[in-house]
Amino acid sequence: MKKSLKIISMFVVAGMVMASCEGPMGPAGADGAKGDKGDKGDPGTPGTTLACAECHNNDDEMIAFSAQWSESQHANGGNAGYANRTGCVQCHTHQGFLEYVAEGSAANISVPENPMQINCYTCHKIHQTYTSADLALTKPGQQILDVKYAGADVIWNKGNSNQCVACHQERVVSPAPVVDGPAFTVTSTRIGPHHAPMANLVLGKHPFELPGTAYPTTNVHSTASGCITCHMSKPYGYLAGGHNMSLKYESHEVENRLVTGCTPCHDISTTAALAAFNTKINNFQNLIADKLSDLEAQVIAAGIYNTTTELANNGTYPANVTLAYLNYNTIKEDRSKGVHNPTYIKVLLDNSIAEMVEAGYPVPVK
């Protein structure tokens, strides 16, 4: 037994001696040959994060949409900064709009600490299902507009443009003057339909019509798809149409009009036809601009409009003068120079100008 232990001890000691004599590690060897390619991974099932390729793929749509949006007024207008307060956040900030959608009302919307511009997630249900269903709109249903017309609800139901009209409609003026009513006291310099009254004018449902020439009941530009017919038509690069939504773009230092949404109704198939079409629009917009300028001069003369602030002056004015100012404000803020509803907007201007003449404020001599 003792002899066996002695032999084992000798082997242990020898091993220790050999280990203590081991030299430093040599340099790393060359990489081995590359292994075989593995099997293709599971592309994922709808509703999982593995299904990203359903949207993020080689068709480049997501890149194009994002780039168009990045050049848009919605992305770059600064709205989230200057209008970040109660009463504004539901349309001017991303967080406010989604809170408005969730609550169904703008009454108790909070002011976000870090206001964000309108973006993809504002209008689309991005990364909720990880399928193409994520492109669904956040507020797609028909819109009952904020103002009433002739005592009745005004309804906009034009497909995907319902999303646009959640914000692009007149704001309530309350209290409001009535035609031929008592003198009206303006107590807020911001009285008016606000910056985006497009939906009401497209429908011809503006609540402050003054009497005179009969208002038309139809509008050739009130299409079944509404806003997107023109504003989201085939884009010019990233600068107009598509998710940029502008109808003008600059090319070689020349401003051009995007007309891809006009082709269903207008013949612009030749250079001559396109030139004639643009001339027709330019002439009409110049006519509306001249009439709007006349009305502006009249409301300035009446003392209700301040050209420095571009807001109203507080004070008491005849009811029809106040209504004429509201019409001026609406058409100016519409910014289409009459194109959204050509005949209706022209009549609205003509009747307002006539009422101002009746109130003692003639059209200025040019």
Closest CA to 123 of 83, 61, 166, 86: 166
Mean pLDDT is highest, among 78-87, 108-117, 203-212, for 203-212
DSSP state of 219: -
**Exposed, middle or buried: residue 68 (CB in 10 Å: 0-12, 13-18, 19+)?**
buried
CA distance 176 to 263: 41
For residue 347, is it left (φ>0), alpha (ψ between -120 and 50) or beta?
alpha
Name the E strands within the chain: 143-149, 152-156, 184-186, 248-251, 254-257, 305-306, 311-312, 315-317
CA distances to 87, 103, 162, 222 from 138, in Å: 20, 12, 10, 23
Q: Is the pLDDT of residue 269 over 60?
A: yes
Residues in contact with 80: Cβ distance below 8 Å, sequence separation at least 6, in sequence order: 92, 93, 94, 115, 116, 117, 118
> What average pLDDT does the segment 267-279 reach?
95
- Averaged pLDDT for residues 22-46: 68
The mean pLDDT of 255-276, rounded to a whole number, is 94
- Give the pLDDT band of residue 338 (cuts 50, 70, 90): very high
First-to-last C-alpha distance (Å) of the chain: 130
Output the six-digit token pair for 289.
Answer: 């601009």
DSSP 236: B
pLDDT at 102 > cutoff 90: yes
CA distance 173 to 207: 10
CA 184, chain centre distance (Å): 34
- What the block records as the tokens of 311 is 């807001």
pLDDT level of residue 36 (50, 70, 90 thresholds): confident
User: Which range has the top average pLDDT, 9-23, 70-84, 115-129, 273-287?
Assistant: 273-287
Q: Given pLDDT bands bounded at 50, 70 and 90, which one contains residue 213?
A: very high
Mean pLDDT, range 295-303, rounded to an integer: 98
**Per-residue pLDDT, 61:** 87
Whether the pLDDT of residue 39 is over 70: the answer is no
- What is the mean predicted confidence (pLDDT) over 280-297? 98
User: 273: pLDDT confidence band, cut at 50, 70 and 90?
Assistant: very high
pLDDT for 7 beyond 70: no
User: What's the pLDDT score for residue 1?
Assistant: 52
Asked whether the predicted pLDDT for residue 18 surpasses 60, the reply is no
Q: Which amino acid is at 301?
A: A
> What average pLDDT does range 208-219 have in this prediction?
97
Residue 10, pLDDT score: 53
pLDDT at 348: 98
- Percent of the chain topping pLDDT 90: 73
Model pLDDT, residue 177: 97
Residue 154 structure tokens: 């005004």
Token digits for 361? 């404020």
Predicted confidence (pLDDT) at residue 17 exceeds the cutoff of 60: no
Q: Is the pLDDT of residue 64 over 90?
A: yes
In this prediction, residues 153-169 reach a mean pLDDT of 97
Q: Give residue 246's pLDDT.
A: 97
The pLDDT assigned to 59 comes to: 78
What distance in Å separates the CA atoms of residue 155 and residue 176, rounded to the nearest whole number? 21
**C-alpha torsion sign, points 245, 249, 255, 256:** negative
The average pLDDT across 199-212 equals 97
pLDDT band at residue 327 under the 50/70/90 scheme: very high
Q: Report d(CA 192, CA 325) in Å as an integer.
A: 8
Residue 347 has pLDDT above 90, yes or no: yes
**Full DSSP string of 10-23:** HHHHHHHHHHHT--
Say how far apart CA 69 and CA 71 lie, in whole Å.
5
CA distance 90 to 110: 9
The mean of the pLDDT values for the chain is 90
